[in-house]
Chain A
Amino acid sequence: MQVTSSVREPLVTGGKTYKDVTSDVSRQVEGKPTVGWLLGMAVSLGALLLGSIALVATLWEGIGMWGLNKTVGWAWDITNFVWWVGIGHAGTLISAVLLLFRQKWRTSINRAAEAMTIFAVICAAMFPVIHMGRPWLGAYWALPLPNTFGSLWVNFNSPLLWDVFAISTYFSVSLVFWYIGLIPDFATIRDRATGIRKTIYGALSFGWDGAAKTWMRYEAVSLILAGLATPLVLSVHTIVSFDFATSVIPGWHTTIFPPYFVAGAIFSGFAMVLTLMIITRKVFKLEDYITIVHIELMNIVIIITGSIVGIAYITEFFIAWYSGVEAEQYAFVNRMFGPYWWAYWSMMTCNVISPQLFWFKKIRTSIVATFILSIVVNIGMWFERFVIIVTSLHRDFLPSSWVMFYPTLSDVGVYLFTFGLFFTCFLLFAKFFPVINMAEVKSVLKSSSEKVKR
C-alpha cells in the first residue's frame, strides 16, 4: 500500500508511468552513444594513457620516482588514497544507511552513487598497491599466505593490515550489493532487446523472472546487506584513520580521527555524487527522476557533514592547546602559519566556509551553485588529507631533517591515471548499465506520480 503525502514534494516529477520509467532509463542503454559521451570518453582515455606513462615509470624505476624523501615518507600517494576512499563512501551510505532509514529519495540516485563508490575504491586501492614498489609480490605482504620463511605471517596488530581487510571487504560487499540491485533492471533491458544484446543482458540478468518469491528473497537480501554495509562503511574510514591515529606523530595521534574521517568521507562522497549526477541528469535528460529535491537533500547532508568536519578542525586545535604537549601545539601552529599555510587555509575555506553557503535556500536549490560548490568541497577535502599528512611530517623531531615536499611529474601522473580510470569506468557504466534503479523507482512511483494513482 502506498501513502501519498500532501506535504512532501513528489519524488518523481513529470507524471511518469511505469512504462515511461522503463523507456526513459533504457533509452541511453539502447541508443547510439552521444557526441558528449564520446567526447568525455576521449578525454578520460587521454588522461588514462597520459597517466599510465607515469604509472609505468613508477613501476619500472621504483617509487624513487615520487617526490618522497627521508622526512616526508608519505605524501601524495596516501593523500590520494584517503581522498578516493573518502569519495567511495557516499554510494554505500546512500544505498544502505538511507535504506535502513527508509529514505525513499535514495531510489533514483543509489545506482550511480554505488557505481561511483566501486570505481573510487578501485582508484584508491591503486595507491597502496603501487607504493609497495613490487606489487607482483604484494600478496605476501598484504595477505596471510604461507611463505618460505616458514611461515612468517603478516602482522595482525597493524592498522595497515586492517586496512587491507577493510578495503577489500568494503569493495567486494559493495560490488555484490550493487550487482544484486542491477539484476532486475538487466532483465528489463533483456526483455526489450533482440539479438546479441539479448544474449548479453540475458547473461547479466542471471535468468531473473520477477517472481513474487524471488522478490521476497531479494528484499530480505537487500535489507540484510544494508544492515551489514552500514557498520562496514563506518568501519572502513575508521580503520583508514587508524593508519594515522595509532602512530605517535604529533598531529596524527588523536582520538578524534575516526568520527572526523568518517564525516569527511561522507562530505566528499556526497559532493562527488552531486558533481556526477548534475552532469548525468542533464546529459541523459533525467531531470524528472533526479529532481531539485534530491539535490537539495544531498546539499543538506553536505551542510551537516561539513559542519562536523569544521567542528573537528576546531576541536583538534583546542585539544592541542589544552593537552599541554609542546610538539602537538607546534604541529598545529605550523599547519596554520608554517610554510604550508596556503594548503591549510585552502582547506579551511573550501571545507568549513563554502558548505555553509548551503544554508541559503537559493544556493542549495541552484544547480549551478551546487555544481561549483561540489567541486570546491572535493578540492578542500584533498587539501585536508594533504595538510594532515605532509604538514605533520615535514617538520620532524630533529630540526636538521626539516624539509619541504615537492611532487614530481610521476606523482601528478599517477594521480591523473586514477582520474582517467575513474571517469572511463563511470562513462562505460553510464552508457551500458541502467543509471537509475528502474525497479526501485517504480516501487515508489505510486506515491509520487499523478498518472499512476487511481
Chain B
Amino acid sequence: MERDKNFVLGIYDDEDVLLNAVTQIRQSGVKIHEVFSPYPVHGLEHNLGYRRSRLPIAAFLFGLLGTTLALTMQFYMMKFDWPMIIGGKDHASFPAFIPVTFELTVLLAAFGMVGVFMVSSNLKPWGQPRIFDIRSTDDKHVMAIDLVNNSHLERERIVEVLKASGATEVNNKSFE
C-alpha cells in the first residue's frame, strides 16, 4: 500500500457540522488529507490548521514591480530618449505620469497574483483533477483521510471517528 492512494471519505451535508468535525477529528489524532467543498466554507482553513495564504504578498511585490517599470519607462522615454516640450511643461512631468503608473501597478499586481495562484493551486486547462466524490462540486463536503498516512490507527477506528463527528456517509476510495 502506497501513500496517497487509499482513502476513507467522510461525507458531510452541513458546513457547521463539518467545521466542528474537522476540529474533533484532528483532536482525536487522525490526520486529514484534504476537505473538498462546493463553495468556500469560512473558517475551514483555520480549523484545518492551514497557514494564511501568502498570495497578498505576491500581489504587493508584483504591484511594486509594475510601479517601478511604469515610472522607469515613462521617465526614460519622455526625459532621456526623446525629450519633447509639450505645453511648455518639464520633460519629466511627474504628475502626468501617475495615471499610467497606477494602471500598470494594478495590471501587474492582478496578473502576477493570479499567475501565482494558478501555479500554486495547480490550475491549468489540461489539468486532470483527482475526484474523490463527484458530489463535492454539487452539494456535499467530502473529507478525505489518507490510510497510509494514518497507519498508526485501525481503519475501523477512523470510520468510527468520522461517524461520531456527524458524517452522513463513510466510503472508501482508491486511486490506481
Contacts and interface: CB of A to CB of B under 8 A. Distances in A.
Interface of A: 1-2, 17-19, 22, 144, 150-153, 155-157, 159, 161-162, 165-166, 169, 172-173, 176-177, 180, 183-184, 187-188, 190-192, 202-204, 206-221, 224-225, 228-229, 231-232, 235, 239, 242, 438-440, 442-443, 446, 454
Given A144-B73, A169-B107, A220-B53, A162 B16 contact: no
A454 B16 contact: yes
Interface in B55-109: 55-56, 59, 73-74, 77-78, 81-82, 84, 86-87, 89, 93, 96-97, 99-100, 102-104, 106-107, 109
B35 A211 contact: yes
Contacts of A442: 38-39, 139
Contacts of A454: 14, 16-17
A203 B77 contact: no
B123 A18 contact: no
A23 to B, nearest CB: 9
A190 B122 CA distance: 17
Contacts of A176: 110-111, 114
B37 interface: yes
A206 B118 contact: yes
B55 A443 contact: no
B148 interface: no
B99 to A, nearest CB: 4
Given A153-B82, A176-B110, A215-B37, A224 B59 contact: yes
Contacts of B78: 153, 156-157
Nearest to B120: A217
Interface of B: 14-17, 19, 34-45, 48, 50, 53, 55-56, 59, 73-74, 77-78, 81-82, 84, 86-87, 89, 93, 96-97, 99-100, 102-104, 106-107, 109-111, 113-114, 117-118, 120-131, 134, 136-139
Contact of A212 (B35, B74, B106): B35
Contacts of B17: 454
9 contacts: A144-B73, A157-B87, A169-B104, A208-B129, A212-B36, A212-B50, A213-B121, A228-B110, A438-B39
Contacts of A235: 99, 102-103
Please report whether the interface of chain A is mostly helix, strand, loop or mixed according to DSSP. helix
Contact of B126 (A165, A203, A446): A203
Contact of B36 (A159, A190, A192, A209): A209
Identify which of B48, B110, B137 gathers the most chain A CB atoms within 10 Å of its CB: B137
A172 B103 contact: no
B38 A188 contact: yes
A440 B51 CA distance: 23
Contacts of B41: 212, 215, 443
Identify which of A22, A165, A217 gathers the most chain B CB atoms within 10 Å of its CB: A217
A80 to B, nearest CB: 23
Nearest to B108: A169
Nearest to A173: B110
